[in-house]
Amino acid sequence: MPTSKTSPYDVIIVGAGVNGCASAWFLRRAGLKVALIDQEGIAAGGSGAAGAFIAPKISKSGPLKDLMDKAHARAMAFYPKYFPEATLERPLFHIAKTPEDADKLRVFRERTDLELSEPPQKLTKMLNVDVSDENAVYFDHSAVVNAQELCRAMSEGVDFYRRKAESPIHDGECWETAGVRGKYLLVAIGAYPKLLELPYIQMRGIWGHRIDITSDTKLSCILHHYVSVSPTSKEGVMAIGATHNVHYSPFGTDEPYDITAGRIELIEKAGRTLKLDNIKIIADYTGLRSGSNDYLPILGPLVDTDATLKQGNEGEAGLVYYPDVFMINGSGGYGFVLAPYLAEILADHLHDGKEIDSELLPERFFKRWLKKNQS
């Protein structure tokens, strides 16, 4: 795909979280010239605060489970191969929190193709909870990535602009925002304020807090229970989190997030599961993640609401799209699992014209929004 003569970039990506950085990596690898824009920096928000565990979806069945199985396999192949220094491969021990979770685990154990085994006794003796085949599962092969280091590595070779992007303008050939021009515009800003008028897309903001600690306790695996605890790629450092705080939002309030209360919550939840001795907190990471209302991620071109309504178009064939604008969003707590899978689909679409699965397209929300407002 040739670059426009009047544009220095093939693609402008707004948002330097894991979705934006993964997209930049795959698009650059496809031979496209990419610009990445973020007003705060690379992985400065929710992605940087993520636990960044490459874990499978523990559920019984459904479209999200099928999608997550594919994405998990892709991520487990992708990160160790291309970013080994930011990836720590370790077993994963997942313990159910409720009887409902235990039932999901039971079905998962029966159906999964992933390699499972019994947890070592040394590990179970460290726990404050009783575990059995009925309420826990131990994966031999899993991983955790260093969120910020990984995003920086994926964005290498891409021009980065630390600027506020707003009110993008299309001149009939290219998009321009924050003084940067490109043929395609990719919106990867999560739950933060929108660049375009998209009344049909309402994201769920999920505030996250992760702490990095040192402790006399040594953990050999990734542990999921009330909260996640794991070793990290940094020698001697463990991570706790991230929490999913649905009660706090940075929007509509002047009250800052209470870091101290967040730390207490994280340590208390971790302590319900694991005996942690001589804890020292060495870093805090906070930020807002985004989830879609139907829990499936969002990937594809964006419907122009005003243009569609002005033409009286209501059917699928009559939808009018913003020219050359795409969104990647809505991964919730599975951003690092989904990002390589989604970004590769996007790159294949822009470079080779491959279709995007209809279940991912943003237009699904427009159709629901239109039906609701008509009624």
List the CATH number of the domain containing 357. 3.50.50.60
Q: Three-class SS string for the chain? A: CCCCCCCCEEEEEECCCHHHHHHHHHHHHCCCCEEEECCCCCCCCCCCCCCCEECCCCCCCCHHHHHHHHHHHHHHHHHHHHCHHHEEEEEEEEECCCHHHHHHHHHHHHHCCCCEECCCHHHHCCECCCCCCCCEEEEEEEEEECHHHHHHHHCCCCEEECCCCCCCEECCCCEEECCEEEEEEEECCCCCCCCCCCCCCCCEEEEEEEEEEECCCCCCCEEECCCEEEECCCCCCEEECCCCECCCCCCCCCCCCCHHHHHHHHHHHHHHHECCCCCEEEEEEEEEEEECCCCCCEEEEEECHHHHHHCCCCCHHHCCEEEEEEEEECEHHHHHHHHHHHHHHHHHHHHHCCCCCHHHCCHHHHHHHHHHHHC
pLDDT exceeds cutoff 90 at 98: yes
Q: Is the pLDDT of residue 343 over 70?
A: yes
- Average predicted confidence (pLDDT) for the chain: 92
Residue 92 has pLDDT above 80, yes or no: yes
In a domain, 356, yes or no: yes
Least confident of 217-231, 232-246, 286-300: 232-246
Q: How confident is the model at residue 5 (pLDDT cuts 50, 70, 90)?
A: very low
Query: CATH no. for residue 98?
Result: 3.30.9.10
41 located within any domain? yes
Q: Over pLDDT 90: what percentage of the chain?
A: 79
Whether residue 269 lies inside any domain: the answer is yes
Q: Which domain holds residue 352?
A: 9-45+150-202+293-374
Rounded to 10 deg, the angle between the 63-82 and 335-352 helix axes is 90
pLDDT band with cut points at 50, 70 and 90 for residue 2: very low
Are residues 208 and 194 both part of a single domain? no
Instruction: Examine the pLDDT at 350 and tell me if it is beyond 90.
Output: yes
The yes-or-no verdict on residue 196 having pLDDT over 50 is yes
Mean pLDDT lowest for which of 70-84, 156-170, 306-320? 306-320
* 84 part of a folded domain: no
Same domain, 213 and 282: yes
216 and 340 belong to one structural domain: no
Q: Of 224, 258, 290, at which residue does a domain stop?
A: 290
Domain assignment present for residue 305? The answer is yes
User: How many structural domains comprise the chain?
Assistant: 2
Give the largest Cα separation in the chain, rounded: 67
Kindly state whether residue 3 falls inside one of the protein's structural domains.
no
Please say which residue of 250, 266, 290 terminates a domain. 290
Are residues 104 and 247 both part of a single domain?
yes
List, for residues 197-229, the tens digit of each pLDDT value: 999 999 988 899 999 999 999 999 999 999 999
Q: Which residues of 303-336 are buried (b: 16+ CB within 10 A; e: fewer)?
A: bbbeebeeeeeeeeeebebbebbbbbbbbbbbbb
Domain end among 290, 319, 336: 290
Do residue 341 and residue 307 come from a single domain? yes
